[in-house]
């Protein structure tokens, strides 16, 4: 059997390694500070752990087919209808629903470059052409160039906001300029995987545009603020007709029963997630200040990570930190060969990072 011709050159998505893989590979016995995958270092709420312990007695059963209980809880959070929500095995799966339901080979999508790698991966898998728009000189989405690049074949535009890997955001006025210029038949996908960490009051949430009647689909996840990355739970919010269409390509029971129970428990314990978000905001400010004082260029971020330009010593710093059990994310694949992405860790991890950077600067210079 021959594979589809457009699959021949696809390379798998490069995920971050697990703690066990890293310990074995690096032969480290001491603590490891995993600051490369934008995970929640505090883990899930204790209430989630308790609920999951009970839910283990039910794993021989299929979950609720409609997921109405979880969709209703999410709907209450955003003040919308459960019929305007679709669940996914991570928000990644909701992205794939869009390709399955709306995009044919030779259709086109527009993405920024760089951005979340899975937009392009799914386009390659489904034979969809990608129009890549470089970030502007300030490393923001170039909405003007995006509008100018629309062709009759463009069916969807994907915008990660905050942007990955820079963490940058846009004010409401810039968003409205884009939305008003878009043809109604084009779906704008606003990926807010890191939306919980936005602190700037001038930056809007995608739900505002949905309520205003624009053709948008907003993506959210339980992986970051709620600490459920390992259970793979995300969702999309949008007009009922779009959600109905996406449901036609969604497999039954695509979200497992443990993820459903954990999602419900997380939404009932919002104080726990809020505490983590507040920690990120406080430690983001600390790390930004500390890294700038060390002489590095730190890009402004509204996410739970920072992009930092370490200059010509980037590789030496990355390897040096790795040997000390501090794992960051190289950004060469994103087009930033001298930059690393740093997940905002807990207080201990962030101070260990700064302390080790102080030592490394002396060694490499």
Write down the domain spans for the chain: 5-43+271-364, 46-269
Confidence grade of residue 16 (pLDDT, cut at 50, 70, 90): low
Query: Looking at the predicted structure, is the pLDDT value of residue 15 above 70?
Result: no
CB atoms within 10 A of CB 47: 14
Q: What is the largest CA-CA distance in the chain?
A: 60
Average pLDDT over residues 149-176: 96
Query: Looking at the predicted structure, is the pLDDT value of residue 20 above 90?
Result: no
CATH placement of domain 46-269:
3.40.640.10
Query: Looking at the predicted structure, is the pLDDT value of residue 14 above 90?
Result: no
Query: Which whole-number Å values give the CA distances from 4 to 107, 126, 167, in the listed order?
Result: 17, 9, 35
The tens digit of pLDDT for each residue in 302-344 reads 999 999 999 999 999 999 999 899 999 999 989 999 999 999 9
The tens digit of pLDDT for each residue in 257-296 reads 999 999 999 999 989 999 999 999 999 999 999 999 999 9
> What is the rounded CA–CA span in Å between residue 132 and residue 145?
10
> What is the rounded CA–CA span in Å between residue 73 and residue 144?
37
Confidence grade of residue 29 (pLDDT, cut at 50, 70, 90): confident
Phi first, then psi: give them for residue 145, nearest 5 degrees.
-65, -35
> What is the rounded CA–CA span in Å between residue 81 and residue 85?
7
Tell me the two tokens of residue 202. Answer: 């001038």
CB 157 within 8 A of CB 110: yes
- DSSP code for 82: G
Average pLDDT over residues 48-54: 96
The tens digit of pLDDT for each residue in 190-234 reads 999 999 999 999 999 999 999 999 999 999 999 999 999 999 999
Q: What pLDDT score was predicted for residue 365? A: 66
Beta bridge partners of 87: 235
Q: What pLDDT score was predicted for residue 155? A: 97
Confidence grade of residue 130 (pLDDT, cut at 50, 70, 90): very high
CB 214 within 8 A of CB 180: no
Looking from the CA of 353 toward its CB, the CA atoms found within 13 Å total 29
The lowest-confidence range among 10-14, 195-199, 236-240 is 10-14
CB 278 within 8 A of CB 40: no
Share of the chain above pLDDT 70, in %: 96
Query: Which whole-number Å values give the CA distances from 159 to 104, 287, 288, 306, 359, in the listed order?
Result: 20, 26, 25, 19, 38
Average pLDDT over residues 136-148: 96
Dihedral, 37, 260, 87, 252 alpha carbons, nearest 10? 120
46-269 has the same fold as 5-43+271-364: no
The CATH number corresponding to 5-43+271-364 among 3.40.50.300, 3.90.1150.10, 3.40.50.720, 2.40.50.100 equals 3.90.1150.10
> What is the rounded CA–CA span in Å between residue 70 and residue 81?
12
Tell me the two tokens of residue 279. Answer: 């920690």
Q: What pLDDT score was predicted for residue 17? A: 64
> Please, what is the end-to-end C-alpha distance for the chain in angstroms?
56
Q: Across the chain, what does the average pLDDT equal?
A: 93
Residues in CB range of 277: below 8 A, 6 or more apart: 196, 197, 225
> What is the rounded CA–CA span in Å between residue 189 and residue 95?
9
* DSSP-H helix ranges across the chain: 19-26, 46-55, 68-78, 91-102, 117-125, 143-148, 172-181, 206-211, 240-249, 257-268, 270-293, 314-323, 347-364
């Amino acid at each position: 059997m021959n594979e589809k011709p457009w699959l021949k050159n696809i390379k798998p998505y490069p995920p971050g390694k697990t703690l066990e893989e890293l310990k074995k590979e690096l032969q480290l016995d001491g603590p490891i500070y995993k600051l490369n995958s934008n995970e929640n270092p505090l883990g899930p709420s204790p209430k989630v752990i308790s609920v999951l312990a009970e839910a283990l007695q039910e794993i021989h059963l299929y979950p609720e087919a409609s997921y109405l209980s979880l969709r209703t809880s999410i709907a209450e959070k955003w003040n919308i209808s459960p019929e305007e929500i679709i669940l996914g095995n991570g928000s990644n799966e909701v992205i794939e629903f869009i390709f399955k339901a709306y995009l044919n080979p030779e259709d086109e999508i527009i993405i920024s470059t760089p951005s979340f790698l899975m937009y392009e991966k799914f386009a390659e898998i489904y034979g969809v052409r990608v129009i890549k728009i470089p970030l502007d000189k300030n490393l923001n989405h170039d909405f003007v160039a995006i509008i100018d690049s629309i062709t009759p074949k463009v069916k969807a535009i994907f915008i990660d906001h905050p942007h990955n890997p820079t963490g940058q955001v846009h004010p409401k006025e810039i968003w409205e300029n884009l939305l008003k210029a878009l043809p109604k038949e084009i779906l704008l996908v606003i990926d807010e995987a890191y939306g919980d960490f936005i602190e700037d009051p001038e930056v809007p949430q995608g739900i505002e545009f949905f309520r205003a009647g624009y053709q948008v689909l907003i993506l959210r996840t339980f992986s970051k603020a709620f600490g459920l990355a390992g259970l793979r739970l995300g969702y999309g919010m949008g007009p009922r007709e779009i959600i109905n269409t996406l449901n036609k390509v969604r497999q039954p029971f695509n979200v497992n029963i443990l993820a459903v129970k954990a999602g419900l428990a997380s939404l009932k314990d919002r104080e726990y997630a809020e505490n983590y978000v507040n920690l990120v905001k406080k430690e983001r400010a600390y790390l930004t200040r500390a890294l700038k004082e060390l002489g590095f260029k730190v890009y402004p971020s509204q996410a739970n990570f920072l992009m930092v330009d370490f200059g010509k010593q980037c590789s030496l710093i990355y390897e040096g930190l790795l040997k000390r059990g501090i794992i960051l994310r190289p950004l060469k694949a994103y087009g930033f060969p001298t930059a690393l992405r740093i997940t905002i860790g807990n207080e201990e991890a962030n101070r260990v990072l700064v302390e080790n950077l102080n030592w490394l600067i002396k060694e490499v210079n």
